[in-house]
């Protein structure tokens, strides 16, 4: 990314505070991150509900790992579909772009969300318990906040959307 200075263009570094001051990019990164969070959460919590309803014999850590995998899969599928439909990419290009631009964001989101959920609930979903709803909110906030700077960085540095 280049910035104009009076005498010529100066390379803008992520170490410069100006790099992080672009409100429009933060807004776009936030929207992109929310879209990814929806995809991750649908797969993640859907898998948790399904495993719990089926009387899963797995340990909480194994259950959470399976939920993370489902979250990554749904987020990836949503991302590819979005890129094909909205960005008019070919299916192959959309798959490649989703892996290159979104995988780090999805992984960090899932790790944050799952870690908070496991810490607060032990991996047990109990919608009848108000504490569970609070922990759900905290895990979703963590899943949003953790990848947001990375998404902004990718958008600002490469002028490409991560999601």
Domain ranges for the chain, please list them. 40-51+59-163
Inter-CA distances, 75 with 33, 70, 115, Å: 11, 8, 18
Predicted confidence at residue 10, as pLDDT, reads 53
Q: What is the per-residue pLDDT for 6?
A: 40
Helices 60-85, 23-53: crossing angle, 10 deg rounding: 130
Alpha-carbon span 51 to 155, nearest angstrom: 36
pLDDT band at 146 (very low <50, low <70, confident <90, very high): very high
Q: Tell me the mean pLDDT in the region 16-33.
A: 89
Q: What is the pLDDT of residue 93?
A: 93
The answer to pTM > 0.85 is no
Reported confidence tier of residue 8, pLDDT bands at 50, 70, 90 = very low
49-96 per-position pLDDT tens digit: 899 889 889 888 898 899 999 999 999 999 899 889 998 999 999 999
Q: What does the pLDDT read at residue 76?
A: 92
Strand partners, 8: 5
Quick one: CA torsion of 26, 32, 36, 42, rounded to 10 degrees?
Answer: 110
pLDDT digits over 98-135, tens only?
888 788 899 999 999 989 988 998 877 888 999 989 99
Asked whether residue 152 carries a pLDDT value surpassing 50, the answer given is: yes
Q: Binning pLDDT at 50, 70 and 90, where does residue 16 land? A: confident
Specify the pLDDT at position 123.
Answer: 76
| Residue matched to tokens 């002028």 | 159
């Amino acid at each position: 990314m280049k910035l104009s200075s009076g005498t010529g263009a100066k390379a803008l570094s992520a170490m410069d505070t100006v790099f992080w001051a672009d409100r429009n990019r933060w807004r776009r990164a936030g929207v992109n991150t929310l879209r990814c969070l929806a995809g991750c959460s649908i797969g993640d919590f859907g898998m948790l509900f399904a495993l719990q309803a089926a009387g899963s014999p797995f340990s909480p850590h194994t259950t959470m790992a399976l939920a993370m995998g489902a979250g990554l899969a749904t987020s990836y599928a949503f991302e590819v579909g979005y890129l094909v439909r909205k960005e008019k990419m070919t299916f192959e290009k959309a798959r490649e772009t989703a892996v290159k631009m979104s995988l780090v964001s999805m992984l960090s989101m899932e790790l944050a969300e799952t870690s908070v959920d496991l810490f607060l609930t032990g991996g047990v979903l109990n919608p009848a318990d108000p504490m569970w709803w609070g922990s759900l909110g905290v895990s979703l906030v963590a899943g949003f906040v953790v990848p947001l700077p990375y998404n902004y960085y990718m958008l600002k540095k490469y002028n490409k959307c991560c999601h």
